Amino acid sequence: MAAKTRTFQQKKRTSSLLINLVLTIICFIWLLPVIGLLITSFRQSQDIFTNGWWTVFPHREYQNTRQITVDPSVNLDGDFQIEGITTNFEALRNGLTTPNGEKLTWYGNKRTRTIDVSERRWVGFSAKLSLQNYTSVLSGQTVTFKDAGGRDVVTRGPDLGSAFLNSLAVAIPATIIPILIAAFAAYGFAWLNFPGRKILFILVVAMMVVPLQIALVPILQDYTRLNLNGTFLAVWLAHTGFGLPLAVYLLFNYMALLPREILESSYLDGASNFTIFTRLILPLSVPALASFAIFQFLWVWNDFLVALVFLGDKNRVVTSALANLVGERGQDWHLLTAGAFVSMVLPLTVFFLLQRYFVRGMMAGSVKG
């Protein structure tokens, strides 16, 4: 019996180690490009074109130590000897490694008759990092940087600061409005008896499977007739309509599991439905409300299609501004990486600070009482 127990414990430890190893590898694969993107967003434009982001860390690289001048009498059209090695001009143009580890590289054309000698040496941490890229991206002012050829480029910043504020103006109301409406609706479906309750709830759940894309054109036509197209109200109403079915379903499943005794005692004490909802249901439903708030906020913040259709360029949000930045400045990696992190910083902050509510929200939507 003891032998079986030890065997079981060994298998359990082995399984745990394998799971942890796989999760570590997955986390590393996910974090590596994110770290590269973050470091690149702080690097100078010319450095991005000349070497990789990993060069900011200590590493070994070839550094010029001296130069060799080839005698004018040497014929460069054939083979000749240099540093005891028989070679030719083309080999030196491509770079030639000597037995002692040095690298010989011909400098310029044949007329220079100069060879650079490089050795692999350790280079410490590079401190050539700055906030200039973020300043250029967030502002709409004139900025200057160097391109891949080292030439100065003068252009205007993409002004992601205004787009960031527009995204906040869209995401916050588009999160609060459906939560308020869905909380009242979920309470009615869970605890109130009225004619057609089950049919209405089935219709609400059925709307979850309706693709968002098929509703864009009819809504856009209505907005055009009502002169709402291009306004924040249009986007708020659209996100409220698209988010309500999931919100009602999620909050209904959570509220339906609340202890019935609490509500019955409140009814006996003479409390009204509104008092019960505001004093009991809402405080007890904070985990479900918070979880849906996170879902909705991340969805609205990362949305591109709805904002593009109903807002356009009149009130450009971060996703639209970043898409235009890719099209207009596809070669300016320092601006693209900084803009990407501007769009990522708030969703990542919300996720890491409130990630425990994601699990509670999924559990609330998967259990039916």
Query: DSSP readout, 231-291?
Result: SHHHHHHHHHHHHHHHHHHHHHHHHTTS-HHHHHHHHHTT--HHHHIIIIIHHHTHHHHHH
Q: What is the largest CA-CA distance in the chain?
A: 112
- The stretch 45-52 carries a mean pLDDT of 76
- Going by C-alpha positions, the residue among 153, 168, 150, 125 that lies closest to residue 335 is 153
Say whether both 218 and 306 belong to one domain: yes
Contact indicator for 142, 154 with CB cutoff of 8 Å: yes
Residue 169 tokens, joined: 């103006």
The 10 Å Cβ neighbour count of residue 271 is 16
- The stretch 71-95 carries a mean pLDDT of 82
Q: Looking at the domain assignment, is residue 142 inside a domain?
A: no
Say whether both 111 and 194 belong to one domain: no
- Helix, coil or strand: residue 153: strand
Say whether both 99 and 173 belong to one domain: no
Cα 77 to Cα 68: distance, rounded to the nearest angstrom = 18
Cα 90 to Cα 101: distance, rounded to the nearest angstrom = 20
Q: Looking at the domain assignment, is residue 128 inside a domain?
A: no
Q: Looking at the domain assignment, is residue 146 inside a domain?
A: no
Burial of 299: CB neighbours in 10 Å, binned 0-12, 13-18, 19+: middle
Q: Looking at the domain assignment, is residue 306 inside a domain?
A: yes
Amino acid identity at 88: N
Domain CATH code at residue 284 = 1.10.3720.10
Burial of 181: CB neighbours in 10 Å, binned 0-12, 13-18, 19+: middle
Instruction: State the helix-helix crossing angle for 318-328 and 333-353, rounded to 10 degrees.
Output: 160
- Helix, coil or strand: residue 314: coil
Q: Looking at the domain assignment, is residue 152 inside a domain?
A: no
Better-scored residue on pLDDT, 142 or 75: 75
Work out the percent of the chain whose per-residue pLDDT is above 70: 87
Say whether both 112 and 197 belong to one domain: no
Say whether both 277 and 346 belong to one domain: yes
- The stretch 239-247 carries a mean pLDDT of 89
Question: CA angle 14-15-17, nearest 5°?
Answer: 65
Assign 176 a pLDDT band (cuts: 50, 70, 90): very high
Q: Looking at the domain assignment, is residue 250 inside a domain?
A: yes
Per-residue pLDDT tens digits for 299-326: 899 888 888 888 877 788 888 888 887 7
pLDDT for the residue numbered 11:
77
Say whether both 73 and 194 belong to one domain: no
Say whether both 98 and 195 belong to one domain: no
Cα 18 to Cα 32: distance, rounded to the nearest angstrom = 21
Question: CA angle 226-300-36, nearest 5°?
Answer: 140
Of 102-111, 179-188, 313-322, which one has max mean pLDDT? 179-188
Domain that holds residue 251: 160-366
- Total number of domains in the chain: 3
Cα 66 to Cα 119: distance, rounded to the nearest angstrom = 10
Asked whether the CA dihedral 336, 337, 338, 342 is positive or negative, the reply is: positive
Say whether both 166 and 284 belong to one domain: yes
User: What is the DSSP code string of 132-171?
Assistant: HHHHHHH--SEEEEE-TTS-EEEEE---HHHHHHHHHHHH
- Judged against a pLDDT cut of 90, whether residue 25 lies above it is answered with yes
Say whether both 24 and 108 belong to one domain: no
Cα 161 to Cα 295: distance, rounded to the nearest angstrom = 24
The 10 Å Cβ neighbour count of residue 53 is 19
Q: Looking at the domain assignment, is residue 336 inside a domain?
A: yes
pLDDT for the residue numbered 150:
55
Domain endpoint, select from 74, 101, 123: 123
Residue 161 tokens, joined: 């600061």
- Judged against a pLDDT cut of 80, whether residue 332 lies above it is answered with no
Amino acid identity at 53: W
Place of tokens 């002012």: 141
Contact indicator for 349, 301 with CB cutoff of 8 Å: no
- Judged against a pLDDT cut of 80, whether residue 225 lies above it is answered with yes
- The stretch 272-288 carries a mean pLDDT of 83
**156 phi, psi to nearest 5 deg:** -105, 140
Place of tokens 């509670």: 360
Say whether both 328 and 251 belong to one domain: yes
Q: What is the pTM of this model?
A: 0.72
Q: Looking at the domain assignment, is residue 148 inside a domain?
A: no
Say whether both 202 and 80 belong to one domain: no
Cα 229 to Cα 235: distance, rounded to the nearest angstrom = 9
Place of tokens 């509500």: 263
Per-residue pLDDT tens digits for 135-145: 878 876 666 65
**Of the candidate ranges 27-31, 139-143, 153-157, 170-174, the one whose mean pLDDT is the lowest:** 153-157
User: What is the DSSP code string of 183-242?
Assistant: HHHHHHHHH---TTHHHHHHHHHHGGGS-THHHHHHHHHHHHHHT-TTSHHHHHHHHHHH
Domain endpoint, select from 123, 152, 178: 123
Q: Over the chain, what is the mean pLDDT?
A: 81
Say whether both 1 and 103 belong to one domain: no
